[in-house]
Amino acid sequence: MAATLPDDFAPRRIRRRVLQVLALLALLVLVVVLAPGLGDVREMLGRAALGWLVVGVVFELLSCVSYVLMFRPIFCRSMTWRSSVEIAGSELAVGSIIPASGAAGVALGAWVLSRGGMPAEQVARRSVAFMLIKSAVNFVAVAVLGVLMALGVGPDVSLLLTAVPAVLALGSIALVAAVPRVGPGPLVDGPSRLRRAQAATRRALVGGVQEAGAIVRAREPLVIVGAVGYWAWDNAVLWATYEAVGVHVALTVVLMGYLIGQLGGALPLPGGVGGIDLGLIGALILFGAPAAATAAAVFLYRVILFWVPLLTGAVAFASLRRALAADERADLCRPVIAA
């Protein structure tokens, strides 16, 4: 049956959100150009090396490809690669303009799969599993790098910025791993929508953690390559923008500062503009990166992070929308037995 996209993802609302993000980016540009005391930042941006910026764009494209690679084996193996690219690309485009750390994009993909025939409970479980696997790489990296930096690898940084984040990351991993012990809980029937929603959320969370564990233990190559690549190439973009402004920053500093900055993307700001930027700049400066170079590098990083997924994903979104309107995607997605 032909499908119409939900109101939240209607082209009119998407265009409005894009305009909001562009307005914030324009304001950010004005601040950089006109604000006093930012002369060094303006100078670095003015002489940024085009070659390194191109490298940064390539790295972000590889990050997007990695996202697509992990999407199909987690959600639906019977789906064609064309449909996988369209849905995953659309998720990336939506994620570039709507905050919540990519959850809005995953919600769009979940809706498409549900309309295609995948049971809603299975979609919910696999959406949780996808988000967990994608995010877990960050936490594992912080745990490993925090321990290594605390032992003296890389620049000399206090234990507060190395060992403490490592312990917190390990604690978070352990906490998530313990979620299945809570159990899915009983099925709830009755007039209370709130109770039904709470029960469904609990089942999705517990089932999603279990499914994520099963997927990781299966060592699916595309999932591993995709999850690690999505994180690593995005980090590489930030490293490339530092190189573009002519400043060499230790890779360990870039990697550790990255997670804290990304947490700012959960703030309710259009496109995460401001949240990610301030988080990244603050974290990187705390780890010893020079202030002016960090501001310039993060500004260039955010421009690439916004435009590359949006432009590439817009093509995928337009194709997916036409296909859904014409009911041309029979592979979205044949029902399969729940794990």
- 281: exposed, middle or buried (C-beta count within 10 Å: 0-12, 13-18, 19+)? buried
Q: Is 12 helix (H, G, I), strand (E, B) or coil?
A: helix
CA distance 85 to 102: 16
In the prediction, which pLDDT does 5 show? 61
Judge whether 241 lies within some domain. yes
Judge whether 289 lies within some domain. yes
Whether residue 315 contacts residue 92, with contact meaning beta carbons closer than 8 Å, is answered with no
Whether residue 126 contacts residue 74, with contact meaning beta carbons closer than 8 Å, is answered with yes
In the prediction, which pLDDT does 241 show? 96
CA 339 to chain centre: 26
In the prediction, which pLDDT does 102 show? 57
In the prediction, which pLDDT does 11 show? 66
In the prediction, which pLDDT does 3 show? 53
Span 72-108, pLDDT tens digits: 899 888 788 888 898 899 888 887 776 555 566 777 7
In sign, the C-alpha dihedral spanning 206, 131, 222, 219 is: negative
Judge whether 79 lies within some domain. yes
Number of domains comprising the chain: 1
In the prediction, which pLDDT does 246 show? 93
The pTM of the full predicted model, rounded to 2 decimals, is 0.82
Judge whether 180 lies within some domain. no
Cα separation values, 168 from 145, 204, 210, 212, Å: 13, 25, 22, 21
Span 28-65, pLDDT tens digits: 677 766 666 677 888 898 899 999 999 999 999 999 99
In the prediction, which pLDDT does 83 show? 86
Give the relative orientation of helices 50-75 and 221-244 as an angle to the nearest 10 degrees: 160
The full DSSP string for 17-78 is HHHHHHHHHHHHHHHHHHSTT-HHHHHHHHT--HHHHHHHHHHHHHHHHHHHHHHHHHH-TT
Judge whether 73 lies within some domain. yes
In the prediction, which pLDDT does 9 show? 63
For 318, the domain range is 7-115+136-174+219-325
Whether residue 81 contacts residue 254, with contact meaning beta carbons closer than 8 Å, is answered with no
In the prediction, which pLDDT does 1 show? 41
Judge whether 336 lies within some domain. no
In the prediction, which pLDDT does 247 show? 92
In the prediction, which pLDDT does 337 show? 42
CA distance 53 to 298: 12
Q: Nearest 5°: CA angle at 158, between 156 and 159?
A: 120
The full DSSP string for 183-221 is -------SS-HHHHHHHHHHHHHHHHHHHHHHHHHHT-H
Residue 286 token pair: 């705390």
Mean pLDDT over each residue of the chain, to the nearest integer: 81
Low-confidence ranges of the chain (pLDDT < 50): 1-2, 267-272, 335-339
DSSP 1: -
Judge whether 331 lies within some domain. no
* Cα radius of gyration rounded to whole Å, the chain: 21
Judge whether 208 lies within some domain. no
Whether residue 137 contacts residue 227, with contact meaning beta carbons closer than 8 Å, is answered with yes
